[in-house]
Structure 1
Amino acid sequence: VGRKPSRIVQAGLVQCPEGRKLFPEMSVRKNLLLGAYVHRGDPKTSQHILERVFEMFPVLRMKKDDPAGSLSGGQQQMVAIGRALMGRPRVLLLDEPSLGLAPLIVKQVLEAVKAINEAGTTVLLAEQNAYAALQIAHRAYVMESGKIVMEGDRDTLLGDERIRKAYIGA
């Protein structure tokens, strides 16, 4: 409470907001490098992280000089996640990363989120697509009207008939 955003990022907490919040006229590369602002004194590290982002999202390397606003919605979401990763988070907060994306792109984005977690970053995912979220989650909390109504590990919630009927449609 009361901390500057740069201090929060330096402490290891980075948010990737709903709606992507990119700078549409700036290149993909510049949008990504904005995420490394708190590490601006260490360009070698920033370049190393940028390379890792390009490995995770190869299409961004091909489009690095294009304006971010010219990308598809899925590619813009990749830029937003990549920009968040540029801050070297220990904890990554993702708010609705699948919002408005085609099912194939949702799968690609969530596979990247899973890889981010497997590489050692804790991910807190707020997602309305319950089925997609539960495919990659270790633990989940179901909220209704701002209150937690259920919680458990992925398998428990996927197997719960109430969850299947209310949120997954199975």
Structure 2
Amino acid sequence: MSAGKRVINIDELKLEHFQQGEKYESRGVRVGPLIGAKQLGYSYDVLPPGKTGCPFHSHRAEEEMFFIVRGRGLLRYGAETRTVRAGDFICCPTGGPETAHQIINDSGEPLEMISVSTMMPAEVCEYPDSGKVGAFGGEGEQRLRHMTRADQARDYWDGE
């Protein structure tokens, strides 16, 4: 892939609209595949006023970083909440509920951000607000995506 195909400008991105219920909404694009990224995931997202793009969650395998390009909002991180604004870098390392994170646009203007994450072959995410646990891995038709409630855990030997 030539150097020219490894570069794309924000103004060239074709953003796709996403909405789930009243709370979750964004326009965004996964940039990594467009520029040939292999081990890092890159995304550009715009959150409308009053919306968030994803549930409060933590990662056991993938580390994430966010950069606020324009606007301001709230960062929920573990048990804390703080204001974030244009120019802020946000580090979300792996861990449990203490590293759970979510960015919410509580302002009257769009919040634009870039996210970068390590692309691990398998991942476990925890969702403290809903008590869910998700297991993800593989590619294509062999891809695993399994969500369950933490209180529905089974013993290792159950059914054996």
Question: Which protein is richer in strand relative to its size?
Answer: 2
Length-normalised TM-score, structure 2: 0.30
TM-score, structure 1 normalization: 0.29
Q: Determine which structure has the larger helix proportion and give its number.
A: 1
